[in-house]
Structure 1
Amino acid sequence: MSRKPPAGAEAAPSLVTDSEGLAALCARLRGERFVTVDTEFMRERTYWPELCVVQLAGEGEVAVVDALAPGLDLAPLGELLADPAVMKVFHAARQDVEIFLLRFGAVPTPIYDTQVAAQVAGFGDQVSYDSLARALAGANIDKAHRFSDWAARPLSPAQIAYAAADVTHLRRIYTGLTAKLEREGRTGWVAEEMAELANPAGYRQDPETAWERLKPRSHNRRFLGALRALAAWREREAQRVNIPRGRLVKDETLLELAATLPTTAAELTRARGISEGFAKGKSGASLLAALAEAKALPDADLPEAPRERAGAAPSPALVALLKVLLAAKSEEHHVAPRLLASSDELERLAAGEEDLPVLHGWRREVFGEAALALKAGRVALGVDGKRVRLIDAA
């Protein structure tokens, strides 16, 4: 059972630094309907995030877990996060979920992201935790420790209080959002979004597709083959030495190396950002080996250039109309425009593509059907007072 504070009082956060205390905490929290979760981590100098602190709150207690405490066994935390009977509530969950996926091999389940839910509930695009805390919990968040060194020990009382606040108010945010969305019949909308958030594939970077993030403009397949090999090498090497990929080799340097194809350490040092020590070391040798392997690939094994959209470019006027319709439907249904459709998606819709998220699920109901009707000329846009509305064109 959870430890409930006296009526009107807020439980003081506890600091958990030993395995026995964590096991007892997680056992109590597994009796809750939901647990709010947050993390503090360091990643500025590493590829892999270094988990420093985990914050947990049930209905009546709040705890700050020192994940760097010597000898701390985090297994009970993994069991809590995997318990299907307890909803795990985050705000802007992706980085936290990635950390737990790396640590425990699974995405927390079931999962709820209040930032996504707030977009569905009409609080705008990428609404901050601070804004929701003010709107739904009547709280002002002190962000003075946002950039603390969370790896330094001991944790200060101010750091502990700051960390605890990130899950304390999240309880009221969660209950407020779920009540609002249930009243408005939107719980199914949120469930669709959470299913995507719970997919482990969304957090794993395939080194063999890393080159696509660089968005090369060249159609030279030999260049693209070299770039694919270099980007895959960088991803694996950054993981091996545990430094950010951009600190290992910058994007623009990869593009330059794919174009110049150095074969020796001396040639490698001519590229911007490549030091002599790097070129002559283990990383430089493995980079050159990756390039040599790419150069030896037969033409059939080289990547195809990124496909351009088939057919004529979409009408800018039609794209503009779809943007107006998006804004109108967002206003009508009180849902964040970006959650409905991106600008790229609108262009693809205007160009005639059909396999788009906006044409599936709740998005089709709210916007997609109207967009297709507008494209087909069955409806038009008009103005009713101060609002844009659809007019039957039949």
Structure 2
Amino acid sequence: MAEYDVVADAAGLAAAAAALSDGTGPVAVDVERASGFRYSQRAYLIQVFRRDAGVYLFDPPAIGDMSALQGAIGDLEWILHAASQDLPSLREAGLEPPSVFDTELAARLLGHERVGLGAVVEDTLGITLAKAHSAADWSTRPLPQPWLEYAALDVLHLVDVYDVLVAELAEQGKTEIAAQEFEAVRTKPERPAREEPWRRLSGLHTVRGRRSLAVARALWLAREEYAKEQDTSPGRLVPDRSLIAAVLADPASKQELARVKDFTGRASRAQLDRWWAAIEAGRADPALPSERATGDGMPPPRAWADRNPAADARLKAARPLVEQLAADLRMPTENVLTPDTLRRVAWAPPAEVDAASVGEVLAAHGARPWQIALTAPVIAHAFVDSLHAADDSPDEAS
């Protein structure tokens, strides 16, 4: 087993940056976080590989300023697997790629049945990767040597995988499609914060009444505040099910809260004053939440037949045609056009339905040029057909 060292200071970073600058070709990059253990999504290890330079493992919290690495690789193409997961953590560390090649996304566009990193490496190179430490706590220090080997292997083969996938994309005529998709991932704006993130509490559907929902909200906010203070995953402090159990128990005192059997977790008893204060705050809050979350104005498709029959007809006419396009291209339907985008254009189509106007609506919802070129004519045709079918149908009242 190869021995790997972790670069953990400015001197080591400078030496690694110099070596990477002298390497050849694109650079493979990966990130290890401590999801499920820490509150933040910061990078606790960044792995980088470049031909003629080798593999380097960086400890961003220990190093601090990563600008030397950005200077060394900042003008290269970065190869990542599932780039959307790693880019936020890389940016938090001060690292920004000028362009990316996403091996997971490329595999999807090529119609590979399996797109996890291990599967893509095996399918393209015939090499089997062990995924034993994928869910490890990467904030652990020092990192065990088997973990470091696992982390290094995540980038060691990516450049070879890249070569194979580049050739496959060219063979299938999907090079430009992939380029547009990769750039969309790289430049995708950060998702705005949810208006009511507390509604994601697992089991919240069992809570009845606005006052009880206010208590659930207060407990969630208290847990978030404490989790942020401790840099610990909220669910490790008090699981969702325990917060819900506290709400449903409706304790009359702090002592009763302590006796709730399902109110468990590392901080359930140690921070009892905190949780009781949250319950009292929720009970006294004059701004009661609504029974249901505020939506975006578009009901679920199962309700369309009653709520908006014309939209229902448009969606049912267009969806199979988009699915057929995806089958012809040998890629998942959601990569040809996301179901949400199709639903939105079906719910609120342009006033004059033709390929150009449908394309404008698709673009407004984030569809890429290649998606618009393929799907807009098909969707417009389906919408027109659905209208004609409605006009030709016999009047039920006659």
User: Please, what TM-score do these two structures have when normalized by structure 1?
Assistant: 0.71
1:87 corresponding residue in structure 2: 77
Distance in 2 of aligned mates of 1:252 and 1:356: 40
Q: Does 1:339 align with 2:335?
A: yes
1:227 corresponding residue in structure 2: 216
Q: CA RMSD in A?
A: 4.3
Measure how far apart 1:317 and its partner are: 8.1
Measure how far apart 1:101 and its partner are: 4.0
Q: Does 1:140 align with 2:127?
A: yes
Measure how far apart 1:275 and its partner are: 4.8
> What pairs up with 1:1-394 in 2 under 5 angstroms?
15-17=5-7, 19=9, 20-30=11-21, 34-48=26-40, 53-65=45-57, 67=59, 73=63, 75-76=65-66, 79-80=69-70, 84-102=74-92, 104=93, 108-124=97-113, 127-136=115-124, 138-143=125-130, 145-146=132-133, 151=140, 153=142, 155-156=144-145, 160-181=148-169, 184=173, 186-187=175-176, 190-199=179-188, 201-202=190-191, 209-214=196-201, 216-217=204-205, 220-258=209-247, 262=251, 264-275=253-264, 278=267, 281=270, 283-299=271-287, 305-307=293-295, 309=298, 313-315=303-305, 322-341=318-337, 351-352=347-348, 360-361=367-368, 362-377=370-385
For residues 50 and 84 of structure 1, do their structure 2 counterparts lie closer, same or farther at Cα, with a shift above 3 Å needed? closer
* Greater CA drift, 294-303 or 361-370: 294-303
For residues 376 and 286 of structure 1, do their structure 2 counterparts lie closer, same or farther at Cα, with a shift above 3 Å needed? farther
Measure how far apart 1:359 and its partner are: 7.2
For residues 85 and 303 of structure 1, do their structure 2 counterparts lie closer, same or farther at Cα, with a shift above 3 Å needed? farther
For residues 376 and 82 of structure 1, do their structure 2 counterparts lie closer, same or farther at Cα, with a shift above 3 Å needed? farther
* Greater CA drift, 57-66 or 316-325: 316-325
Measure how far apart 1:108 and its partner are: 4.9
For residues 82 and 230 of structure 1, do their structure 2 counterparts lie closer, same or farther at Cα, with a shift above 3 Å needed? farther
- AA in 2 matched with 1:289: A
Measure how far apart 1:211 and its partner are: 1.6
* Greater CA drift, 19-28 or 288-297: 288-297
Kept after mapping to 1: 8 A contact 2:74/2:96: no
Kept after mapping to 1: 8 A contact 2:108/2:331: yes
Distance in 1 of aligned mates of 2:337 and 2:216: 31
Distance in 1 of aligned mates of 2:230 and 2:304: 45
Kept after mapping to 2: 8 A contact 1:211/1:228: yes
Measure how far apart 1:37 and its partner are: 1.0
Larger helix fraction of residues: 2
Kept after mapping to 2: 8 A contact 1:91/1:113: yes
Structure 1: where are the runs of 5+ without partners? Answer: 1-11, 381-394
* Greater CA drift, 299-308 or 30-39: 299-308
Measure how far apart 1:295 and its partner are: 3.6
Kept after mapping to 2: 8 A contact 1:117/1:177: yes
* Greater CA drift, 340-349 or 323-332: 340-349
Measure how far apart 1:140 and its partner are: 0.9
Identity of aligned residues (%): 22
Measure how far apart 1:91 and its partner are: 0.6
Residues 17-64 of structure 1 deviation map (CA, whole Å, 9 limit, x = unaligned):
453233122233246552101234544543346855432111223224
Measure how far apart 1:107 and its partner are: 5.3
Kept after mapping to 1: 8 A contact 2:43/2:90: no
- AA in 2 matched with 1:249: V
Kept after mapping to 2: 8 A contact 1:221/1:302: yes
Measure how far apart 1:122 and its partner are: 3.0
Residues 121-168 of structure 1 deviation map (CA, whole Å, 9 limit, x = unaligned):
3335x61223322444x2312316445776475744x65554333212
Distance in 2 of aligned mates of 1:14 and 1:250: 36
Kept after mapping to 2: 8 A contact 1:14/1:62: no
Measure how far apart 1:285 and its partner are: 2.5
For residues 272 and 245 of structure 1, do their structure 2 counterparts lie closer, same or farther at Cα, with a shift above 3 Å needed? farther
Residues 358-388 of structure 1 deviation map (CA, whole Å, 9 limit, x = unaligned):
77323333335423422331799xxxxxxxx
What's the secondary structure of 1:35's corresponding residue?
Answer: strand
- AA in 1 matched with 2:229: R
2:393 corresponding residue in structure 1: none
Distance in 2 of aligned mates of 1:61 and 1:67: 18
For residues 263 and 240 of structure 1, do their structure 2 counterparts lie closer, same or farther at Cα, with a shift above 3 Å needed? farther
- AA in 2 matched with 1:25: A
Distance in 2 of aligned mates of 1:188 and 1:285: 56
What's the secondary structure of 2:227's corresponding residue?
Answer: helix
Distance in 1 of aligned mates of 2:246 and 2:362: 36
For residues 323 and 178 of structure 1, do their structure 2 counterparts lie closer, same or farther at Cα, with a shift above 3 Å needed? same
Distance in 2 of aligned mates of 1:74 and 1:27: 18
Kept after mapping to 2: 8 A contact 1:219/1:305: no
Distance in 2 of aligned mates of 1:185 and 1:252: 46
Residues 155-207 of structure 1 deviation map (CA, whole Å, 9 limit, x = unaligned):
44x655543332122112224434554672543554355434554624x866x
For residues 78 and 371 of structure 1, do their structure 2 counterparts lie closer, same or farther at Cα, with a shift above 3 Å needed? farther
